[in-house]
């Protein structure tokens, strides 16, 4: 089983957080900051899977997330990966016994909600706590990784949200799973990420790779941490600078980071593929390697990655 990267695709979460209209959600959250009446309100565990519309968004996501985390499943009927992921989320929500709530949103029926979150593809999963998006991932990932992502989320929020334990005292956060022994090397890297020390996290993952060059989990995690560090410093103005000077390779790489941080995935990929077509020798190798590293931030079956790989092969040969 592949080990999920810290906080499950940290780079994607960072990118998605940049795309979400946090100010709008914050305003709604502040308006709903009064706690639910304990006698007249609905208990957090009354429902574990709910369908949400624009009309019920405030009550079912913002208000409810003041008590327990709400995990939003943004899906569409035509989406094949959604049909794989949604049943997993529903099963785990029921097993969680109200320690968290699954809110299902059909992006075709509720396009304004999808637009508010800046959703570019489905499935997209967003965790909301206290009225704010706190974590996310995109694409259909295996059930063990979904479970671990939920467990990590609940553990991180437990001190802030007592309702997690109150609602699910008799259930493990994401259903019954076997405890897996933790590799202390990965634990050290994850702790560094939690501190916001991406330099230390990169060093920790690189140390694993130096000892085990074939460790794909460490390689993928290193790519994600590298991007997360760059995303923090991404400058939206880099896009305009790169557009004005297509020959500047550094500008193209910086602009791709800025576009990915805004969750404009196709634009980032297309930019670097165009740069591959224009460059030669070391510059071309540099752009190609950069792009391949970005591919590693996404699930292997992400259609955008598959399309970009085909276009990259065409650009190279």
> Which residues belong to the active site?
79, 82
Strand 132-138 relative to strand 124-129, pairing: antiparallel
Strands, E, within the chain: which ranges?
Answer: 49-51, 70-75, 101-106, 124-129, 132-138
**How far out from the chain centre does Cα 62 lie?**
19
Token output for 102? 């699954």
Do 58 and 32 contact (CB within 8 A), yes or no? Answer: yes
Strand 70-75 relative to strand 49-51, pairing: unpaired
**CA distances to 21, 91, 144, 158, 231 from 224, in Å:** 23, 29, 19, 26, 10
Do 209 and 218 contact (CB within 8 A), yes or no? Answer: yes
**What SS3 class is residue 168?**
coil
**How far out from the chain centre does Cα 84 lie?**
17
Q: Comparing C-alpha atoms, which of 42, 4, 1, 2 is closest to residue 193?
A: 4
């Amino acid at each position: 089983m592949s080990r999920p990267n810290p906080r499950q695709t940290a780079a994607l979460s960072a990118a998605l957080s940049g795309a979400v209209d946090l100010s709008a959600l914050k305003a709604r959250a502040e308006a709903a900051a009064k706690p639910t009446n304990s006698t007249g309100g609905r208990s957090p565990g009354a429902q574990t899977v709910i369908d949400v519309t624009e009309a019920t968004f405030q009550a079912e996501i913002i208000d409810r997330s003041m008590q327990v985390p709400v995990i939003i499943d943004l899906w569409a009927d035509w989406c094949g990966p959604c049909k794989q992921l949604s049943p997993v989320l529903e099963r785990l929500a029921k097993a969680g016994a109200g320690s968290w709530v699954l809110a299902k949103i059909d992006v075709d029926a509720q396009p304004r909600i999808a637009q508010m979150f800046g959703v570019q593809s489905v499935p997209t999963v967003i965790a909301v706590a206290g009225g704010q998006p706190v974590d996310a991932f995109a694409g259909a990932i295996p059930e063990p990784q979904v479970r671990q992502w939920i467990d990590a989320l609940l553990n991180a929020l437990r001190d802030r949200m007592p309702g997690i334990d109150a609602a699910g005292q008799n259930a493990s956060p994401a259903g019954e799973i076997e405890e897996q022994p933790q590799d202390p090397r990965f634990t050290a890297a994850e702790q560094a990420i939690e501190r916001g020390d991406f330099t230390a996290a990169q060093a920790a993952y690189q140390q694993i790779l130096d000892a085990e060059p074939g460790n794909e989990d460490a390689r993928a995690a290193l790519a994600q941490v590298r991007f997360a560090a760059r995303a923090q410093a991404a400058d939206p103005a880099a896009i305009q600078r790169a557009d004005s000077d297509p020959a500047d390779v550094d500008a193209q790489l910086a602009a791709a980071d800025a576009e990915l941080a805004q969750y404009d995935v196709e634009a980032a990929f297309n930019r670097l593929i165009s740069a591959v077509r224009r460059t030669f020798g070391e510059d071309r190798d540099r752009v190609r390697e950069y792009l391949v590293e970005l591919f590693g931030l996404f699930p292997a079956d992400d259609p955008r990655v598959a399309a970009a790989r085909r276009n990259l092969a065409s650009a190279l040969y």
